[in-house]
Amino acid sequence: MTETRSTPPELDDGGGGLLPAAFDPQLFRENSETALGKLEKHLSDQSIRGLELTDPAVLTAAARSLMTAEQERIAAFDEERFSGILDLYLRTGIQVHSPGYMGRQFSGVVPLSGVVDFVSSVVNQPSSFYEAGQLPNVAERIMADELNRFIGWEPGRFAMVTTSGGSLANLTALLAARNTAFPGVWARGTAAAGRDRPAVAVGADVHYSVSRAAGVMGIGEDQIVRLPLDDAHCIDVGRAGPALTAAAGRGLRVFCLVASAGTTSVGAFDPLDELADLAHARGIWLHVDGAHGASLLVSDRQRHLLRGIDKADSLTWDAHKMMFVPAPCTLLFYRDKAHSRGAFRQQASYVFDEEPDIYTALDSGDKNFECTKRPMIMTLWTLWAMYGPALFAEKIDYLCALTARAHDILEAEPDFETIHRPDANILCFRYRPAGLPESEVHRFQVAVRNRVKFQGNYFISKVDVHGVAALRVVMMNHQITPAHIRMLLAEIRKAGQELLDGAETREPQKGTIL
């Protein structure tokens, strides 16, 4: 270990040395202005950029070269060093604000939400307890009511907690469902389930976080009942009933059916209305994983995709996807607030009050996994307060219309194959130039995707659909227009032709970044 300090701290002048300087408000302002200037430039740059992947070793060396060599005392502030760190950060990331970015569900955030996040980081008011984050806790209640207008649950009876991401929300909802169906398990462990083997039913295309959550809860892979999908990639209600009956016959007691409102792979919406009837007739909790698609509730045009959501027992809603705020910002809703206390049945005298008063009544620490939790609602609530719901509805409508147009453009191109009609803003397709053997289609899509990625203009993803790879775009940026989609197709054709011509398939060297 290196020795970093030999003299004892000076207690009468706040530590002495350069410690106070690191907290100087004037310096803070200057640093912020440096960052803001760079961010303004970053946001103004509308050039088409995909992902410029840097060799991690090169980036590590660049990052290390920016670090102070000072080990003995606090280093004096070096403006140039700070500027270099910011430049490296902005240059090497995923370019969510460029029209070349179409590959993932991370959103091009509304810039104002970044400003609020910045404030949150400085004031640091964790939001699991009212006494620490008063406005965030009130804003959570307000946003719960505002969004519930679109869900349609009984006001005063439902509940909402924020969680650090949709994966954690899914785990929390599954815990609440499990503890409701098997009340003894929290105290006595899985033995309390007796001969019943707790099980979860999911659509075959469910997000991996759901089976991961099941694993965390001690529910094995073979206790996950995968329900068959129909041609539109949604849970096939007609075949789901028999699948549940067969599972019961194998000794599985399905306590939760997870439907997806927007699957990650193709953006398909399961039929919630019918699935709710099916689940409730069998005493099964219906959880809706709307991490991607719940935001469509805010749009008059798209809301029909979630018909029946009012019958669900719980709902995961990622605002950091289609509400365009920084990650993480996830809302987990329960139709019945009594269930929100069922996920974690604990007592901890240092934080949980025995007799809640009007202040502690807003605490969520007993209902969410996190102890210290970001006041993530502040970004969403501020946008809602400033612009109203139409900001979200308009952007969502644009993205869905753009994706439908992309589908139509592809339909007209004989060398492209469409796979599904997009419900929302996710579209999968294949590039199949004449003469490409059937046996090569899978490998070719992967190779095309990688080549497009390394060319650096467009960032798209890939996913297996019915076991065969497909190219995938996720429209998260309203600055993308149909012209960009046509340019993407040209880029894909070029990459594909180069591959067919046997051109060098190795990734181009991107050695230097500075």
The site for ligand PLP (CB under 6 A) is made up of 105, 165-167, 207, 209, 260, 262, 264, 289, 291-292, 318, 328, 330
Which one, of 321, 231, 312, lies nearest residue 279 by Cα?
312
Minimum distance of ligand PLP from residue 460's CB (angstroms):
17
Between 130 and 459, whose beta carbon lies closer to ligand PLP? Answer: 459
Strands 330-334 and 314-318: antiparallel
Between 205 and 363, whose beta carbon lies closer to ligand PLP? Answer: 205
d(CA 505, CA 252): 49
Which one, of 428, 479, 123, 172, lies nearest residue 324 by Cα?
479
Minimum distance of ligand PLP from residue 264's CB (angstroms):
4
Between 264 and 340, whose beta carbon lies closer to ligand PLP? Answer: 264
Minimum distance of ligand PLP from residue 31's CB (angstroms):
30
> Packing angle between helix 79-92 and helix 56-65, nearest 10 degrees?
160
CA-CA-CA-CA torsion sign (476, 480, 486, 490):
negative
d(CA 417, CA 434): 12
Minimum distance of ligand PLP from residue 171's CB (angstroms):
10
Minimum distance of ligand PLP from residue 96's CB (angstroms):
15
Distances (CA, A) of 103 to 327, 458, 459, 505: 17, 8, 5, 21
- What does the block give as tokens for 415? 């060398």
Which amino acid does the sequence have at 246? Answer: A
Residue 406 in contact with residue 484, Cβ under 8 Å? no
Between 210 and 225, whose beta carbon lies closer to ligand PLP? Answer: 210
Which amino acid does the sequence have at 150? Answer: F
Between 320 and 451, whose beta carbon lies closer to ligand PLP? Answer: 320
Q: List phi, psi (to 5°) of 484.
A: -65, -35
Minimum distance of ligand PLP from residue 312's CB (angstroms):
14
Minimum distance of ligand PLP from residue 322's CB (angstroms):
10
Between 104 and 432, whose beta carbon lies closer to ligand PLP? Answer: 104
Between 105 and 457, whose beta carbon lies closer to ligand PLP? Answer: 105
Which residue's Cβ lies closest to ligand PLP?
166
- What does the block give as tokens for 247? 């599972």
Minimum distance of ligand PLP from residue 260's CB (angstroms):
5
Minimum distance of ligand PLP from residue 463's CB (angstroms):
12
Which amino acid does the sequence have at 240? Answer: A
Which one, of 136, 170, 19, 187, lies nearest residue 378 by Cα?
136
Minimum distance of ligand PLP from residue 426's CB (angstroms):
9
Between 179 and 209, whose beta carbon lies closer to ligand PLP? Answer: 209
**DSSP conformation letters of 378-422:** HHHHHHHHHH-THHHHHHHHHHHHHHHHHHHHHHT-TTEEE----
Q: List phi, psi (to 5°) of 430.
A: -130, 150
Between 66 and 232, whose beta carbon lies closer to ligand PLP? Answer: 232
**DSSP conformation letters of 318-366:** EHHHHT--PSP-EEEEESSHHHHTSS-----TTTS-SS--TTGGG--TT
Between 214 and 448, whose beta carbon lies closer to ligand PLP? Answer: 214
Minimum distance of ligand PLP from residue 164's CB (angstroms):
8
Between 308 and 496, whose beta carbon lies closer to ligand PLP? Answer: 308
d(CA 422, CA 232): 9
Between 88 and 428, whose beta carbon lies closer to ligand PLP? Answer: 428
Which one, of 427, 428, 433, 399, lies nearest residue 413 by Cα?
433
Cα-Cα-Cα-Cα dihedral of 397, 400, 405, 409, to 10°?
160
CA-CA-CA-CA torsion sign (367, 372, 378, 380):
negative
Between 318 and 363, whose beta carbon lies closer to ligand PLP? Answer: 318
Give the HSE-up count for residue 425: Cα atoms under 13 Å, Cβ half-sphere. 28
Minimum distance of ligand PLP from residue 291's CB (angstroms):
3
Which amino acid does the sequence have at 357? Answer: D
Minimum distance of ligand PLP from residue 292's CB (angstroms):
4
- What does the block give as tokens for 226? 């995968």
